[in-house]
Structure 1
Amino acid sequence: MSNLSTESARSCLITVGTTEFNDLIETLDSSHEELLSLLSKNFGITRLIIQKGKGKHYPSNLCKKNAFDIECVCMEYTTAEKLQQFMQEAELVISHAGAGSILESLRLKKKLLVVINETLMDNHQIDICKPLSEKRFLHYCYCKNLLETLQHANFKNLKHYPSPDHKALPNLLNYEMGL
């Protein structure tokens, strides 16, 4: 583990938010060689930052020295400011389907792959991801097809999520009130 603010490094941020998503971390760790190869060849990644939350699985295979010379840093949590810095610096974000993580990645115009956690009740995460994917703001997948999606998804065709219109609500209220 070396300096996290090396400006020349191209990084990939993997985040599970404040909960746990063991299936995601285990999937990535068990397919570490193929994952690292894809990240290196398809995205030029030289640093992998994993925010694993309170999950039990530590990605020991990903975090050991590898043939692709990708530095790996793993942490349970970090400050909101540091996570935003990692996200700003990331070439690619692989995220759980938390609304906050998705919106922050989209706001920063990042290449985003959202991984649906099928173990959650009602599988509401698909309700967030599907419309955003249909409008080409992000790609999504499940753990079982993560590597295939990462290999075949066209991140160049993703559109930038529009900036918020902070005047929309006041303008609507003024219109409704006849002002």
Structure 2
Amino acid sequence: METTALVTVGSTSFDALVASATTPAVRAALAARGFTRLVIQYGRGAVPPTVESASSPPLEIVTYRFKPSLAGDMAVAGLVISHAGAGSILEALRGGVPTIVVVNTALMNNHQAELAGAMADRGHLALASPVSLAEVVGAWDWDARVPLPPPAGVFGQVLGEELAHAYDPWG
């Protein structure tokens, strides 16, 4: 298993997710699962405070606002903790990375909650809230997750590529 966990909020701000990911409980849950590095892409949100990790072994924490692409970080991640943006979800699932989605309930007309809920109902990912994130990180059996099937036919492939591109603020 890769030892890097990636938190991404996409091009938006989701300070509650970033704050939750840096709590001692989440850091301890990540360390208990063998993670040694936590990479946080915080978008337009507040710059996360510097956090000293009390986990043993220590959890290295790296933060950044934006990069041209998350592909490199996703490729080395053993876990993605993501906002519920369609592009971020599809990129993580297409990469075969265990994915925990945290829905930003402050958004109006929240289609993201519908997408995340449908993917969780099908067993592709786990859902968490900022409050339940540590519990989900510690308890979720990601080996039992259902892989996302490939897009069906040419139409499905084109639609999947277009959706991923439409929701990818970096590509």
Fold in common (TM above 0.5):
yes
Q: TM-score range by the shorter chain?
A: 0.7 to 0.9
Distance (whole Å) between structure 2 residues aligned to residue 65 and residue 27 of structure 1: 14
Contact 2:20 2:26 in 1 (8 A): no
Aligned position for 1:117:
104
Contact 1:13 1:87 in 2 (8 A): yes
1:79-102 alpha-carbon deviations (Å, 9 max, x no partner)? 11xx10110110000000000000
Residue 125 (structure 2) aligned to one of 121, 138, 161: 138
Establish whether residue 36 from structure 1 lines up as the match of residue 27 from structure 2: yes
1:65-116 alpha-carbon deviations (Å, 9 max, x no partner)? 5443221110001111xx1011011000000000000000010011000001
Structure 1 pair 144–165 and aligned structure 2 pair: CA distance change class (3 A): same
Deviation at 1:156, TM superposition (A): 1.2
Residue 49 (structure 1) aligned to one of 27, 39, 45: 39
Q: Which amino acid aligns with 2:18?
A: I
Deviation at 1:10, TM superposition (A): 1.3
Distance (whole Å) between structure 2 residues aligned to residue 101 and residue 28 of structure 1: 17
Establish whether residue 151 from structure 1 lines up as the match of residue 148 from structure 2: no
Matches within 5 A, 1:16-35: 16-29=9-22, 31=23, 33-35=24-26
Which SS does the other structure have where 1:114 is aligned?
Answer: strand
TM-score normalised over the length of structure 2: 0.83
Q: CA RMSD in A?
A: 2.0
The aligned length equals 156
Contact 2:2 2:77 in 1 (8 A): no
